[in-house]
Each structure stands twice: as structure tokens, then as C-alpha cells.
Amino acid sequence: MKRFMVVQHSYAEFLGMLEKQLESRNIGFQYQRPFLGNDLSTSAGQFDALWLLGGAYPANDELACPWLAQERQLIVNFKKMQRPMVGIGFGALLLVEYAGGVVSDEPYFNTYWTTCHKTAAGEHDVLANAVDGKRVLVMVNGSASLPEGMEPLVVDDEGRWLAVRPDENTYAMLCRPEIKPGMIEDMMMEDNRPLPDNIVDILAQAREYWPVNQKVAADISFALVAALDLMTERRKMPVFSLNVAEK
């Protein structure tokens, strides 16, 4: 069975609408939750792909996210194993950083609805064509500048990057196809979570466009599965059990 590792960075942010899409394709997933104080496994050999989800803080906040060194090592290990990787929001910033981009905590909040526009670089990209002209929610704290030579596949209404493909096995997206209205409600209830001033309006629009957003999430899921060949099960490292022989 195909199995994905999913790194969750806050209580409220999980695969959400994408869970059903993966389960319908007989794909299992295992959540890693370093925000609870657990060590983050850096093993890539037992998984077919890595998903890095959104988070409550900028991706360079070592104080709020003390596991960042482990997560960066996890990215290195999945890269060595040539496993597909998908970063969403916080996770997208980490993947762009790994590719040579620079992460910043400014602007602190990037939370808004916008329309996707594919670029010339995304003309023949499956994901770019799936989201072109679609309305999406962007929700990420902080930002990342793209390294020299990396062209965005998708930009927002202001021309800011929304999706890139650092290599053939990796996508990084600032749009958040997984988010349900209930997840935004949970974010608003999290203790001491920093929230943008427009969060009430963001929630209202998420509720209003719920049927449309579900279709967009399905389109994005299909595009990622196709582009990254996520239906192919990768060769996994064997797990050895050491038994003490009795004399």
C-alpha cells in the first residue's frame, strides 16, 4: 500500500479536504506532529512521498518551531531517496528555502483570497493548468523569495508567486486547498495563535464558496497525483526485527 508521511505543524492544520482525495486512491498517510514536542522522524525509506503542511508561524521562527532543523534534514533525506514532496503554506516556504530561496518573517501575515494565473513557465504544467483562473485561499505567515533561475508556475492577482516546482519531484504552493471552514474556526480557537485582522472575513468567504472550494481541492489533488506519479509505490527499505536466539 502507498504510504505518505505528513508533517503537521499545528492542531488545526491537517490534510483536511485532501484526506478524502488520498483515501479514495488507496493512499495511506502517517502524521508526524513535532509541535507537540515529539521528535520528528527523519526516515524517508518507509514512505512513498512527503507532505509538509501549513503552520502558525513563519518558517524561520526557530523559537516557536524548535524542530526546524529536523524538518530540514527530513527534506534532505527525501530528496536523496528521490521521493515526491509537496509543501503547502509553511511547508512550501521550507521547500523553497531548501532550493536556495530566502525565508523572511515579513510580511508576517499573507492571508487573502485571490485568482490563480499560470505563467509562461507553467504553460504545460499539470498543476498550473488545473488552477488557472480558479479562486484560492492563500494563508502563510512570512514569505520566501525564489532563488535565481526559479520561475513561478502560478502567480496571484498582484503577480506574486503561488506555486513553483523546484525539481521534477517537488511542488511548493502558498494556496491552501486543504482548508475547510471548520479548520479556520479551530485556528481562531487555538491558544496564543497569531491571527491576521481579516480572519473573520476569510472564514465568511470560505463558508460562502465551500462547494466551489471542494471542486478546486479535488482538481489540485488530481493534478499533484498525476504530475508527481503519486499512484506509483516506491521501493521501501526493509524493516529488520532482531530476535535473540535462545541457546
Q: Which of 52-66, 103-117, 230-244 has the lowest mean pLDDT?
A: 230-244
Instruction: Give the mean model confidence (pLDDT) for residues 33-44.
Output: 92
- For residue 22, being part of any structural domain is answered with yes
DSSP state of 36: G
Taking the C-alpha atoms of residue 128 and residue 165, their distance in angstroms, rounded to an integer, is 10
Q: Where are the beta strands (DSSP E) in 146-208?
A: 154-155, 161-167, 170-173
Does any domain span residue 233?
Answer: no
For residue 42, what pLDDT is reported?
85
Mean pLDDT, rounded, of the chain: 94
pLDDT at 168: 97
pLDDT at 237: 65
Query: Is 108 inside a domain boundary?
Result: yes
Which CATH number do you get for residue 150?
Answer: 3.40.50.880
CB under 8 Å to 247, separation ≥6 — which residues?
none
Distance in angstroms (rounded) separating the CA atoms of residues 125 and 92: 18
Q: Is 66 domain-assigned?
A: yes
> Is 232 part of any domain?
no
- Please give the model's pTM, rounded to 2 decimal places: 0.93
Give the pLDDT confidence score for residue 247 in this predicted structure: 46
Confidence of residue 43 (pLDDT cuts 50, 70, 90): confident
243: pLDDT strictly greater than 70: no
Section 127-152 average pLDDT: 98
For the chain, the domain total comes to: 1
Q: What is the pLDDT of residue 17?
A: 94
Mean pLDDT of 127-156: 98
Residue 160 in this model has a pLDDT that exceeds 60 = yes
Q: Is 245 among the domain residues? A: no
Residue 245 has pLDDT above 80, yes or no: no
Distances 89 to 8, 73, 133, 206, 223 between C-alpha atoms, Å: 12, 19, 20, 17, 18
What pLDDT score does 41 carry?
86
Buried b (16+ CB within 10 A) or exposed e, 56-90: bbbbbbeeebebbeebeebbeebbebebbbbbbbb
Is the Cα torsion angle 224, 75, 87, 159 positive or negative in sign? negative
Residue 243 lies in a domain: no
As a whole number, mean pLDDT of residues 79-83 equals 95
Q: Is residue 160 in some structural domain?
A: yes
As a whole number, mean pLDDT of residues 120-148 equals 98
Element of type H or E holding 7: strand 2-7
Q: Which helix (H) or strand (E) holds 59?
A: none
Domain that holds residue 38: 2-227
